[in-house]
Amino acid sequence: MRAHLPSPRAHWLLLALSLVVLLGLLMLDVLVVQRVGQGEAPSAGPADQVPESVRTGGPLLGSNVNGLTSRAVPDGTVVLTFDDGPDPRWTPQVLDVLRRNDVKATFFVTGVAAARYPDLVERMAGEGHEVGLHTFTHVDLGTVGQGRTAVELGQTQLVVAASTGRASTLVRPPYSSSANALDNEDLASVERMIASGHLVLLSTHDTEDWRNPGVDAIVAAATPADQRGAVVLAHDGGGDRSQTVAAMERLIPALREQGRRFRTASDALGVPTARSASFAEQAEGTAVSLAVRAAAATTELVNWLVVVSSVLALLRAALLLSTTGIHARRTRNVGRHVRRLRRQPVTVLVPAYNEEAGIEATLRTILASTADVRVIVVDDGSTDRTSEVVRSLDLPGVELIRQVNAGKAAALNTGLRHCRTELVVMVDGDTVLEPDTVAELVEPFADPDVGAVSGNAKVGNRDGLLGRWQHIEYVIGFNLDRRMYDVMECMPTVPGAVGGFRLSALRQVGGVPEDTLAEDTDLTMALERAGWAVTYRESARAWTEAPSTLGQLWRQRYRWCYGTLQAMWKHRGAVRERGLGGRLGRRGLPYLALYQVVLPVLAPVIDVYALLSLFTDPVRGAAAWLGFLVLQLVPAVIAFRLDRERLRPLWAVALQPIVYRQLMYLVVIQSVITAVAGARLPWQKLKRTGTAAQHAPELAPDAEITKPLHPRRGAVEDEVTKPLRVS
């Protein structure tokens, strides 16, 4: 049983790598894909450096040995061009109009859109249209340098090459119009593009259809006033293009009646605008296309996850608060009319493994109980002085049993074999009790249907940030979650730190299960499936020592989480049962699956998205973070008030997402991976420091026993070489 805990480092590395990839995809989509077309059209600047030959020349700009050149479209020829596509709604409609009218056009695509909809680019080329470059993100090339220009055009060229097999060199800069509208910045960007081997095609007739001026206005703007050649600028993407589609239906027949010919830019101008793309270029373009689509899909998925998570968080908060109110009223009413339990002896079982530091405080506070208690300590093969400490105390009413190491469940079963009372309380070897804890814990057994009672475990060593985080978690978990489970009659766990049981119920289910790590959860579920009610007694307080280091916390929660997964899988059949078992299966198990498995697994994704939103949309990101913080704080304040705790530690809630919550996420993810792999884990024992009573009221490790004890002899050592199981 004392196997080594599997190292989580490989899984952490895999998770970290996955989160880096996720962050990269989200950044690609949020900072690149979603920014396409968001810039405003630049205003015209000084144009004193633009040559007159360019200003008054044709729409195609290139160069020769003498510098910049321009070329005009032949008379009677019309080149239809469409920018900002492809768009999944409007581009197919434009293509349909062109096909019906047997017209070939030139499409200037953005790299992002071409990457997201490669089938449309492929259709453009397949139907004989020309595909040019409109940058990757629709950036104003007049405001960026050579490096950004090269990336914008190069990535777009690769994406187009992946869909068409051709590497286009024809460019239309975003926000451009005719040659006579060029300013100095535009000229500089044109010179950079031409120097890198590209041709720049502007327009002679700008329809300004992006303004949605009406079909008549678009047709009028696209119709040449004379027989000179024309390059018509329209759009098949970037917004509602219904007017553009309708205008093309009218424009093409009208121009044909005037004797106009429709040709692509390269055909009309007589210059090659594309070359065959290499296999490497097509492969790179495919990779870019896949990355853009993956980024868009990832963002859409994460958006849905954020919505679902928010809804679930709100539902959980509403459920906890409503059931807390019901439980509080029910507790007050029951307190007036409940049947009282007759006084009877109670056995307190203390499984112990290396509890030298705290076992004395545990035993003394148990024996100081107002109830009639007998104590059985089962030393599960401790390697420290646990047994020696128990023997040296020579406390009356305490029986010591030693066995070879077999795990906590086996130690409890050995103790149960020695029980002679119907009521049994199980506490951990590091737990200290208040004087009324045992009496309060067994009081619900006045109801013969009750088989187990959960006590109220509290963190004793709550100093320091880690202690405060665990203190907050315990208070919320016991005072809200267990109230909810109590009201819904689907309590999943009676904690090992402090729980009461009916011995006959334990014997009915075969004692404490030894085939899962969360024996407390497994046992509780088994009792409910056997028809025994399990309830919560908030006044039965016990003080336990929480892990004092992140490493210890990891090991403890890893065992808890993994064991809970084991128990949930083991008792999955409860969903088909009736009675208490059915309530557990149809209420408790789905709740555990949603809030202790599914959401924690998805939480790192949401955190990455939230972190990114602080840089892309700070106001919205901060509002979302504050909203989730409120959803945590409101239940926390209520839980602290119910437990009569001071609110001062709640400031630590704001810091939980930084370390504590991330650790809990990793615990769940590691546990799920381990469960899927089918690995088995040992009973992980934490190193104790004996600080469980640090904040317990009216308690001290050296508390004197002032009440009469059960008339037994002092500590008895019973050497057991083999663990026993309850039959």
Helix (H) / strand (E) containing 274: strand 274-276
226 in any annotated domain: yes
**String of DSSP letters for 43-79:** PP---TTS-HHHHTS-SEEEEETTEEEEEPPPTTEEE
113 in any annotated domain: yes
40 in any annotated domain: no
715 in any annotated domain: yes
CB under 8 Å to 290, separation ≥6 — which residues? none
Q: What is the pLDDT of residue 84?
A: 94
Q: Do both 145 and 262 map to the same domain?
A: yes
Q: Provide the b/e sequence for 571-602 (b: ≥16 CB within 10 Å).
A: beebeebeebbbbbbebbbebbeeebbbbbeb
CA distance 725 to 727: 6
Q: Exactly one of 129, 134, 235, 571 is catalytic; name it.
A: 235
- Whether 83 is a known active-site residue: answer yes
Q: What is the pLDDT of residue 701?
A: 42
**String of DSSP letters for 128-195:** T-EEEE--SS---GGGS-HHHHHHHHHHHHHHHHHHHSEEE-EE--TT---GGG--HHHHHHHHHHHH
* Vertex 145 angle, CA 144 and 151, to 5°: 90
Phi, then psi, of 557 in degrees rounded to 5: -70, -30
Q: Is the separation of the CB atoms in 194 and 63 below 8 Å?
A: yes
3-state SS assignment for residue 321: helix
- Among candidate residues 261, 277, 293, the one where a domain is terminated: 277
Q: Do both 260 and 341 map to the same domain?
A: no
Which residue type occupies 400?
L
Q: Do both 613 and 685 map to the same domain?
A: yes
CA distance 178 to 59: 7
387 in any annotated domain: yes
Structurally, how many domains does the chain consist of? Answer: 2
Q: Exactly one of 29, 83, 209, 481 is catalytic; name it.
A: 83
CA distance 60 to 79: 12
Q: Do both 265 and 314 map to the same domain?
A: no
Q: Say which residue the tokens 């077309």 belong to.
A: 37
- Whether 418 is a known active-site residue: answer no
Q: Is the separation of the CB atoms in 427 and 433 below 8 Å?
A: yes
Instruction: Report the CATH number at residue 634.
Output: 3.90.550.10
Q: What is the sign of the dihedral through the CA atoms of 192, 193, 197 and 203?
A: negative
Q: What is the pLDDT of residue 671?
A: 78
Domain that holds residue 103: 52-277
Phi, then psi, of 543 in degrees rounded to 5: -110, 120
Strand spans (E) along 460-531: 498-502
Q: Do both 307 and 453 map to the same domain?
A: yes
CA distance 121 to 123: 5
CA distance 363 to 391: 12
CB under 8 Å to 517, separation ≥6 — which residues? 559, 560, 562, 563, 566, 681, 683
Q: What is the pLDDT of residue 274?
A: 92
CA distance 28 to 361: 58
3-state SS assignment for residue 544: strand
Kindly give the parts of the chain with pLDDT less than 50.
1-7, 683, 699-718, 720-721, 724, 727
pLDDT tens, position by position, 59-80: 999 988 778 889 999 999 999 9
The one-character DSSP state at 209 is G
Cβ neighbours of 560 (radius 10 Å): 21
Q: Do both 234 and 315 map to the same domain?
A: no
Instruction: Report the CATH number at residue 117.
Output: 3.20.20.370
544 in any annotated domain: yes
Among 552, 348, 323, CA closest to 438: 348
Q: Do both 237 and 312 map to the same domain?
A: no
Provide the token pair at 517.
């790590």
Crossing angle of the two packed helices 9-31 and 599-616, in degrees rounded to 10: 40
12 in any annotated domain: no
- Among candidate residues 262, 277, 292, the one where a domain is terminated: 277
Q: Do both 268 and 310 map to the same domain?
A: no
Among 160, 123, 150, CA closest to 275: 160
Q: Do both 272 and 348 map to the same domain?
A: no
Q: Do both 256 and 322 map to the same domain?
A: no
Q: Provide the b/e sequence for 628-656 (b: ≥16 CB within 10 Å).
A: beeebbebbebbbebbebeeebbebbeeb
Q: What is the sign of the dihedral through the CA atoms of 123, 124, 125 and 128?
A: positive
Q: Say which residue the tokens 């509890």 belong to.
A: 355
Q: Do both 207 and 243 map to the same domain?
A: yes
536 in any annotated domain: yes
Q: Do both 93 and 239 map to the same domain?
A: yes
